[in-house]
Amino acid sequence: MHGGCINNSMVLEEGDRRYFVKTNKPETLTMFAAEAAGLNEIIKSETIRAPAPLCWGVTAESAYLVLEHIPFGGNTYIGNSRLGEALAALHRTPSSGFGWRLDNTIGTTPQVNTPTTEWADFWSRHRLGYQLTLARANGAPEKLIERGERLAEAVSSFFSDYQPTPSLLHGDLWGGNWSTDTSDNPVVFDPAVYYGDREADLAMTELFGGFSQDFYSSYGQCWSLDPGYPTRRELYNLYHILNHFNLFGGGYAAQAEGIINHLLAEAGG
């Protein structure tokens, strides 16, 4: 199978049975185990379809993850509308705190999910702060790091009138990580699960495209957004832009610095 840039993938057939299989280096077993746990967390919510993990393990040559094979349909009007409804339902899956019981990955980057009671503290330390630490090690401009650290200290200012409750998040919800089955029911996959502000999932849907207005209208009818979302959307997507810099380098540093400067201006700094 083609399309992924991290793992090798294939469909195995045995008679009329099919399995979707990912493989990678042996040391990626913990990544696959966390992905399987994340898929099970979504499935357990009974809100949206995700491929069921069947088994995972390691051989001398590779780690592997075997998933239920789901034939895909297309991203139709009905599918987009149903995705909005299903995502709102997923986000109503509660938790006593932010984070998750396991660390996982965002792309190939470790994602720290240490449970925390305060959302602003969680985002400052385990999302923005962690990516800035990696960015410094990867040669990001010192001005970006210095201003990014100033922003991390000011994160709480974006939540003075808005206190999110922990919601179950897909965590990596761009257009390439969802589709529909042959009955137009939405299917999500390749998650980076944790419990956080639902706005973080919605922000990423706007970062790389792949979601129609039908999706946003459907979600909004189920659960409207706070007026401060457009500003926090930049804060949440900064995490993914910094991660892309840490994975791929290039112009993502300039993009991240522009977002940081705008958010600092919003925060009065």
Kindly give, in sequence order, each residue whose CB lies less than 8 Å from that of residue 236, ignoring residues fewer than 6 positions away. Answer: 197, 199, 200, 203, 204
Rounded CA gap, 159 and 133, in Å?
Answer: 23
Q: Tell me the CA end-to-end span of the chain in Å, nearest whole number.
A: 48
Query: Which entry of 16, 121, 161, 172 is annotated as an active-site residue?
Result: 172
Q: Which residue has the tokens 């599918």?
A: 79
**C-alpha–C-alpha distance, residues 253 and 262, integer Å:** 14
Examine the residue annotation and report whether 201 is marked as an active-site residue of this protein.
Answer: no
C-alpha dihedral, 83 to 89 to 93 to 94, nearest 10°: 120
User: Whole-angstrom Cα distance, residue 102 to residue 137?
Assistant: 25
Contacts of 255 (CB under 8 A, 6+ apart): 241
Tokens of 234: 């930049």
HEC sequence for 108-158: CEEECCCCECCHHHHHHHHHHHHHHHHHHHCCCCHHHHHHHHHHHHCHHHH
By C-alpha distance, which of 104, 93, 102 is closest to 47?
93
Catalytic positions are: 172
